Structure 1
Amino acid sequence: MSTLLNWLLPRKAPQQIDCIPWEIELKRWASSEWIEYQTWLFRHAFVSLHDWKSLRSEAQSWQEKPLFSLITPVYNTPLKLLFECIYSVRTQAYPYWELCLVDDGSSHKTTLALLDAMADEDKRLRVLHLPQNQGICAATNAGLAMARGDYVGFLDHDDRLAPNALHAIAKSIRQQPDTQVLYSDRDMLSPRNTRFMHLFKPGWSPETLLSGNYLFHLLVYRRDLLEQLGGVRGEFEGSQDYDLILRAADVQAKILHLPQVLYHWRQHENSVSLAHDAKAYAYEAGTRAVQESLQRRGLQGEVMENPALWRGNYRVKLQNPKQSAQVMRWSERLDFHNVQINSDIVILGEDIVAMDEDSLLEMQRWLQVDGVGLVTGKLLDNTQIVHAGLVQRPGGEPLALYAGHPETTPGYMAVTATVRNVSSVHPACCAIRLELWQQLGGLNPDYQSGYALLDFSLRALQAGHRIVYTPFARFQTQSQDFSQDFGPPQERQRFAKTWENWLAKGDPYYNQWLTLEMNDMGLAL
């Protein structure tokens, strides 16, 4: 047994942890290379020993205590990384879990010895040794077969959980027991073992998911849903988790976002997080996973990797609509209640020009997706972004993400360059499904400005419809002084008052930890 292994093993079990060194170690685990993120971590995400004990006590007082099964395939993992992974589970404030460690035919004796030694220390660690290497999918399904928990989570063998991760998930389940899938925010661990590259995700966004697996880590499923889906599929090796969540979405599983950083994804030279070409087959499998999802939904279209972005981002180009849409200029808004509407509607501002023949069709294509009621496009002033998605703010004045930036700026989570869900259309370029127009009775005549369409957007969300932004519908404004003023102050105030309660909760497609003061999606400290 190596010297490192001898140093690692004599750690205290979590039930005995009550000493300062453990708190110092977790402080080290909360260290970031980014000064701004370091500040955020200590303000919003650091779990002290006192906090940990309070969470533990709270969990023990609950009458209903869901059991979590964490599935971790292991293959020749470096000892220190494997130990940190397991240790991050053993130090969970929530104690009702089992860790199913599936050794996928490791040849390193120290890996095998560490697994068995730690399992001897804590009976919640369950180790299965496969006779030979079978791959991540086979190992994952072997772990699922072992699982006895009410909910199942996935933890890579070199990653870490935040100490409050399972407590936060369990608390959310208690509050919303019909939830079938939960996902959290995450960050990365650098090669120097410090935290950086945070990923603060939006709420559940079905169309965003078609552009890439934005949910990736931490994902927790109700076990009966996983049994219904049949586990992961070997033919999607490398993107098996993406295929799994797409299939969960296609059966209308109830999916919930938990806006806390509960997972730390390890970055090293052979990981997909660092070298995007390390596993090229994974992205090919991702393309096929999205293609199959379209087929399950009865949609026809082409799926390709998004050439403007890093790998793992996809573009879905749906088939052209069977019927043309009725195109109207915003100057005709006052006549909307008198015009006979008998098809889907495209509304353009007076000075807005489509940059190619495909742009109008692109907006109409997404109206074919069940549940999508409105679509909006990208608006440019020469080569600068005017609109790449709006974020609703409490005062009633939306935030235009990356306005004024070059069009080549992909932005945080590539928001300007991917098809995604948003809370409202831009009044100068949008498409509306006929059935939605009829259901809501058109625009509210109380508004004489762009706020009529912002109001219509929120009414559509309230009625259960979704809104899509597509960067592949590109429009140019001819105005030299285009602004983001959607209407006079009195209309903004009316809008803010009408939707006061909705706006106060925060835009569901924008993370609460991101700034509303600037349009670059920086941290809100």
Structure 2
Amino acid sequence: EWVIVAHGPIPTSTLQQLRERSTEAWGATLIIEPKPLGIMGAMQKSLKHAKGDYVVPIDADDLLTVDAIQILVHEIDRLKRPSLIYSDEDLLINGKPEAPYLKPDFDPILNLDSSYIWHLCAINREVAMKLGLYTDTGANWCHDWDTVMRIWNAGGRIEHVAEILYHWRQHPQSTTNQSEGDPRSLQSVRHVLAQQILRTATPERYTVEPWPHFRGMKELYIARNGENLPEFIWVGDVQRDGATRSFDGGEILVVTSGDVVVEGEAVYREVVRLMELHPTVAAVGGRVLDADNRIVEGCLLSKQSCSPVYDWDGRAADDGGSYVLSLKTQSVTATGVSLAFFKLHAIVAIGCEMPNASTELSRWVTDACEKIRRANWQIAFSPLVSARATAGFAPHGRRVLKSADANDTREGINLPVTESTPHFVGTYDPTKNALVSTFGEASYLSYGPYLPLRTGKYVAAFTISASGPVDGELVGVVDVNGFKFSKPENSLGAVDVKVANAEPILHVPFTVDDRNTKFEFRVRVNGGGQVEYKGVRITRIA
């Protein structure tokens, strides 16, 4: 049965054709409304007049394949009547099908951050009526996403037909084909995401914000603030604590090799966001980037009819691939072995043994991900979870567990300066691999990594060039915020060092009183001259 809603001002000749064809050719139910109903109003009117077990919403710019309905009927029976079923699609440009979109199976992680299920879909009519589809006018311009959200939140079953069943007749003026984004569509997206926030137990932790990186158009997502973050436990410290404590308070295990540096606090907020918004997520992975901003280690991904692959490896960091999927949060088969976060109570519950001093870290991560999948937990990827590779990094390499400060051998950690090094005042000079202050002005160069340092005493050795005259004092500072994501623990003041020679090394002692600390390493010149900051080496002394 076809239900056609013709609403708003329509030429008399067009209405006459609709009446004749609806009766003679299509056998359709024709509903004519003189006043515009809007998208939601028209969809709701269609749903109320439908009588079948399933409804298939389509727009004027949709072109169905000749066997689309037949295939949907077959798949609905084969899949035992799911709440919603959706197909693949392509674009119809100048009469020719292009750009096939072979969608993944339903992925709640991808769906929450990116609307990817549009047409062709068939929806169980009873489910649609029960969940109030097409009743929220705030979702007017993204009603497909609102539909999927309602069904997913209600625990409905969503299935995928891996076949192209319709062509979208796209044109340059299409409202969904603009990099700036249609304001009406963005408003509806904000509304749908705000409604999702209200469904959480702690809505005060989340806000709707612009997606941090440009992926071709303006986008919004649910962001996590920095309040009430759980404790992060570094893998090198698990052996010390594992035998004497239980993990049931939301603690998160951080697995990083000693040759990567996590890029900042936002990474930790993103991990928490994914684990909170998706309670079945037990692990989160991301990307390790080199100095050229290329991905040297990513996650393991399963694709349709393919063996799992490391789909991100070798890509430029901003290369999104087909439909920008490589830059979107999504479910994956496994994390990389050099950057991974695990929900501790989940991996303990499924029988993962905690790593010890003899553990081969890469094997442990691989085995943990396998157990997570077998226990029907999920593993998530996010492009916002990233780290920088340092010299000697070996992607997917064999690694024996050790704390990143190499506590037993007293080896140090080198933090080189790269173009992506966080800094406040100063300019990165690629020819010198240094942050350079403005000559003759007071400077403030800052580098704030998050490091897995155990409790103990350390020395930070700054490698610096100072050209003069340096009229004031050259100051090296280590700032330890005791970062437990919610409260400050300790902060050391500046250590003043006067220098006259080139390439001075400033040695600044500092103490770590707790894990999960944020460190800022700063160089300041009080007066004239110029400073080139080339890096810092961290060594544990006690």
Q: Fold match, TM over 0.5?
A: yes
Q: Show the counterpart of 1:327.
A: 233
Please state how far the C-alpha of 1:418 moved relative to its aligned partner. 2.4
Distance (Å, rounded) in 1 between the aligned partners of 2:144 and 2:267 = 32
Q: 1:204 aligned to 2:106? A: yes
- The residue number in structure 2 matching 1:72 is none
What TM-score do you get using the length of structure 2 for normalisation? Answer: 0.66
What residue number does 1:271 align with? 174
Match of 1:91 in 2: none
Q: Give distance in 2, aligned partners of 1:473 and 1:143.
A: 43
What pairs with 1:461-500 in structure 2 (closer than 5 Å)? 461-480=373-392, 482-484=394-396
What secondary structure is seen at the aligned counterpart in 1 of 2:372? helix
Structure 1 alignment gaps of length 5 or more? 1-97, 489-525
Mean CA deviation greater in 479-488 or 154-163: 479-488
- Tell me what 2:209 maps to: 304
435, 440, 452: which is aligned to 2:364? Answer: 452
C-alpha distance 185-125 of structure 1, shift in aligned 2 (>3 A): same
**Matched residues, number:** 389
Structure 1's 168 and 269: CA in aligned 2 closer, same or farther, altered over 3 A? same
**Equivalent residue number for residue 133 of structure 1:** 36
Q: Determine which structure has the larger helix proportion and give its number.
A: 1
CA distance in 2, matches of 1:181, 1:202: 15
In 2 relative to 1, CA 230–317 (structure 1 residues): closer, same or farther, beyond 3 Å?
same
- 2:268 aligns with 360
Q: CA deviation at 1:130?
A: 0.7
1:158 and 2:61 matched? yes
AA in 1 matched with 2:318: T
Match of 1:317 among 194, 218, 223: 223
340 and 429 in structure 1: CA distance in 2 versus 1, 3 angstrom threshold: farther
Partners of 1:305 and 1:403 lie apart in 2 by 27
Matched position secondary structure for 1:368: helix
Looking at structure 2, the residues matched to 397 and 135 of structure 1 have their Cα atoms a distance apart, in angstroms, of 45
Q: CA, structure 1 residues 465+304, in 2 after alignment: closer, same or farther (shift >3 Å)?
A: same
1:390 maps to what in 2? 300
Q: State the secondary structure of the residue aligned to 1:435.
A: helix
Matches within 5 A, 1:27-426: 98-122=1-25, 124-190=27-93, 192-232=94-134, 233-277=136-180, 279-300=182-203, 301-306=206-211, 307-311=213-217, 313-320=219-226, 322-329=228-235, 340=245, 342=247, 343-369=251-277, 370-382=279-291, 383-392=293-302, 398-426=308-336
The sequence identity of aligned pairs, in percent, is: 20
Secondary structure at the residue paired with 2:2? strand
Shift of 1:395: 13
Report if the CA contact (8 A) 2:297-2:313 is conserved.
yes
User: Structure 2 CA distance, aligned partners of 1:461 and 1:448?
Assistant: 21
Question: Does the 8 Å CA contact 1:352/1:476 hold for their aligned counterparts?
Answer: yes
Q: How many angstroms does 1:388 deviate by? A: 4.4
Change (3 A) 1:350 1:273: same
Specify whether residues 332 and 259 from structure 1 end up closer, same or farther in structure 2 by C-alpha distance, changes over 3 A only.
farther
C-alpha displacement of 1:121: 2.3
CA RMSD of aligned residues (A): 3.0
Q: Would the aligned equivalents of 1:305 and 1:311 in 2 still touch at CA under 8 Å? A: no
Matched, 1:435 2:349: no
Unaligned runs of 5+ in 2: 401-542
Equivalent residues of 1:186, 1:261 under 8 A apart: yes
AA in 1 matched with 2:130: Q
User: 1:487 Cα shift?
Assistant: 8.7
Distance 2:305 2:165 in 1: 31
Q: CA deviation at 1:291?
A: 1.9
Would the aligned equivalents of 1:100 and 1:127 in 2 still touch at CA under 8 Å?
Answer: yes
Q: Larger Cα Rg: Structure 1 or Structure 2?
A: 2
Matching residue of 1:522: none
- Equivalent residues of 2:298, 2:335 under 8 A apart: no
Q: Give the TM-score taking structure 1 as reference length.
A: 0.68
The Cα of 1:384 is off from its aligned counterpart by 0.7
Quick one: distance in 2 between partners of 1:486 and 1:412?
32
Q: Give the Cα–Cα distance (whole angstroms) in 2 for the partners of residues 312 and 185 of structure 1.
A: 24
CA distance in 2, matches of 1:260, 1:214: 15
Shift of 1:481: 5.1
Conserved? CA contact 2:242–2:354, under 8 Å = no
- For the residue of structure 2 that corresponds to 1:133, the secondary structure is coil
- Residue 534 of structure 2 corresponds to none
Point out the structure with the larger strand share: 2
